[in-house]
Amino acid sequence: MLKKYMLLMGIVVLAALAFVGTRSTSEASDDDGLRAYRVTIENETAGQPFSPGVAITHKRSTGLFHVGDQASAGIEAIAEDGNDGPAVAAEMAAQGITDVFDINRPITREDTTVGGFTDEFTFEIKARPRDRLSLAVMLICTNDGFTGLDSVKLPKEGSVTYHAAGYDAGTENNTERSADIVDPCSALGPAPLAGDPNGNEDAAVDTSPHGTIHHHPGIVGGADLSPSMHDWTNPVAEITIERIDGEHEDDD
């Protein structure tokens, strides 16, 4: 399965790591009425690196994912493969979206550095008054686990911090086998998995029909993942959003 993230897999597995840039794209025709925010994602787990993903600012009526709903194709690609491309493309074409940020780099486990990658990442994004923010990144050492924010409020001034849980996309069986898990789990996770690099199987472990997004049950063991190394206690991420444009008029 040769997707954009597979290139990153090869780079990571070969330990030839270099910083991957990020980009932001806004649908707004001009900057009138837009606010600027700085978002910092910090990994709070010892065993789960985060994949590339996507962040959006949007109207309250839309969003990126909702617990209890089926995962979109974009969320499925992130949760199964760490492939942010489909979600970025879909959100750039969607109605009610103000800004789209492509988080196209991994975030390492808490207190670890691998090559040029660290356990936190900061980016800037724009929003209109009363917009919400959503984001999603994969929990790399899972079959279809991810974390993120679902339509959270942006601060009118100062900053706000959210703590994100681990979610299961409901699109794959949680086999916890190396053959079904993306290879960067070996390079960025707490220990190499047997057989890597070997890609990962999606169709073989696909749930049919797909379930709904729910809180992830964690790592149970019995295959190639280890509860002692790869499991976590929620929250898995601390996400801080700070308003940085200096304009603090009432948004109501």
Please provide the CATH number assigned to the domain covering 33-243.
2.60.40.2130
Mean pLDDT in the chain? 89
- Check: pTM over 0.85? Answer yes or no: yes
- To 10 degrees, what angle do helices 85-93 and 73-81 make? 160
pLDDT in tens, 88-124: 999 999 999 999 999 999 999 999 999 999 999 999 9
Angle at 236 between CA 41 and CA 103, to 5 degrees: 35
Kindly list the domain boundaries of the chain, sorted by start residue.
33-243
Residue stretches of the chain with pLDDT short of 50 = 1-23, 28-29, 252
The contacts of residue 93 (CB under 8 Å, 6+ apart) are none
